[in-house]
Structure 1
Amino acid sequence: MTRGELFLISAPSGAGKNSLMDALGAHLGHERLAFVVSHTTRPPRAGERDGVDYHFVNDAQFEEMVRADRFLEWARVYDHRYGTAAAEVLPRLAQGIDVVHDLDVQGAARLRLRMPEAHSIFVLPPSYAELRRRLEGRGADEAGARARRLALSLSEIECYRDYEYVIVNSDLQLAAATLAAIIVEKRHRRARMQEVAEAIADDFRTALGGAR
C-alpha cells in the first residue's frame, strides 16, 4: 500500500488557520484525509470539545505521555503545553491516508526534525490590520492575551522562510482551494500513483493477450 503524506500547517494566531482547516474538508472531503487532534494542557474554550478540537489533559497526564515517548513532538506555547501523539499520525500514514496537522512554528520545526519528508505550509494574514481585527473579534481572548499575540506575530510571520509553501489567507475559499491543490498535486505524483497506474497497465496487458 502506498504511504500517505503528512502536511504541516502553521500560521500566526488569528490568521484563520482553523477556518481554513474546516474549509479544506469541504474541498477534498474526508476520504483518505485525516486531521490530527493535538494534546494540550490548556483549558477548553467555550464550544470546544474534547477529542474533536483537542485532547484536553492535565499536566500530570501530559508528562506521563512525554516520559513514555508517545509524542512525535511537544512544546510549551504561552503558558501551556501542546503535543502531537504518534498514534494520531503514524498508523494513518501507514494506511495510505494523508494527514493534515495544524500546529505552531515550534511544533512544526520539531516534527520536521523527526519526519523531514513532511510537507510544510505557512498561512499568512493579508496585513497587520486584518490580523488585529480578527484577534479583536475573538470574544474568548482577554485584551492582554490579544496584545501578547500581536506583539509576537512578526517573529512568527518571519518563520515563513522555513516552509515549503506559503498561502495568504485574504479570501478563505481561495486559500482553501490553494491548500487543496497542494495536497492533490502530491497525491498525483508518479511515485504515489504507480500502484494504480500499474494495475491499469496490467488490465491492458490481459486484454491484449500479454502484449507490452
Structure 2
Amino acid sequence: MNRGLLIVLSGPSGVGKGTVCAALRRKLPELTYSVSATTRSPRAGEIDGVNYFFKTREQFKDMIERDALLEHAEYVGNYYGTPRDFVEKTLSEGKDIILEIEVQGAVKVREKFPEGVLVFLLPPSLQQLKDRLTGRGTETQATIDHRLSVAVEEMNLLEHYDYAVVNDEIDAACRRIESIMIAEHCKRERFLHELFVELEGLREKQNIPER
C-alpha cells in the first residue's frame, strides 16, 4: 500500500481557499481533512476530533515542546496548529490528506514536512482579489487595502510551493488540484522503495546473486 499524500492548500485572504477545499472534498469524499488543534472553547455543535482537537493551553504548549505540531500560531489569544501524529497516521494508512492553511503556516510545514505537496491558490488578478474582498461588505477600505498589501507579500513566497493553481472558476480549480494529486501519485520516487524491497525479497528467495 503506497503512502498517502499531504496536500497543503494555501493562498492570500479572499482567494477562495475554503470554498475550493470544500468543493474538492465533496468531489473526493475519500480525501481526509486535516483537523487542527486549538485552545479555544468548542462552539455549539462542534465535536472534538471532527472540527478541532480541543486542547488546554498546557496541553498545547506541551505539543509545541515535543515538536508534535507541523506548524502553529497564536490568533486572538488562542493557539492553533496542525498535529503531526494525525497527519502521519492518515498517510501511513495510504490515505490522502488536505491541509487548508495560511501562507506562513504552509512555509513552516515545508520546513518540517518536506514531502508535503504545496499548492498555492492564486486569484485571476489582483483587481479580482480586491473585488472579492470588497464584495464581502464586511470590512473597511483600510482593512481591504491592508489585506491586499499582505497578499502581495504572500505571493512573493510562491517560490516555496510546488504548484500554482489559478482560482478563476471553482470546478476548474478542483480539476487542476485533482490532476496534481494524480501526477504526484505516479512519481517514480513513490515506487522505488517498495520495488526495491520486493526485488530484494525475490532475490533472497531464488538465490539470485547481486550485480
TM over 0.5: yes
Q: CA deviation at 1:13?
A: 0.8
CA distance in 1, matches of 2:127, 2:57: 36
Partner of 1:98: 96
* Residue 34 (str. 1) matches residue 32 (str. 2): yes
CA offsets per residue over residues 59-106 of structure 1, 9 Å max, x none? 555334323432122234687543111132000111111111121222
- Describe the shift of the 1:137–1:52 C-alpha distance in structure 2 as closer, same or farther (beyond 3 A): farther
Q: Deviations over 1:113-146 (max 9, x none)?
A: 111111111111112222123223446x543654
Q: Structure 1 residues 181, 90: closer, same or farther in 2, change over 3 A?
A: same
Query: Structure 1 138/49 Cα, relative in aligned 2: closer, same or farther at 3 Å?
Result: farther
Sequence identity percentage = 36
Q: How far apart are residue 8 of structure 1 and its match?
A: 1.3
Gaps of 5+ in 2: 196-211
Name 1:67's counterpart in structure 2: 65
The one-letter code sitting in structure 2 at the alignment partner of 1:34 is T
RMSD: 3.2
- For 1:82, what is the secondary structure of its paired residue? strand
- Among 148, 155, 158, the residue aligned to 2:156: 158
2:179 aligned with 1:181, yes or no? yes
**What do residues 8-39 of structure 1 show as CA deviations (whole Å, max 9, x unaligned)?**
11100110011111111233x222x2111223
Matches within 5 A, 1:1-80: 1-27=1-27, 29-31=28-30, 33-40=31-38, 49=46, 51-55=49-53, 59-76=57-74
Structure 1, unmatched stretches of 5+, are: 197-212
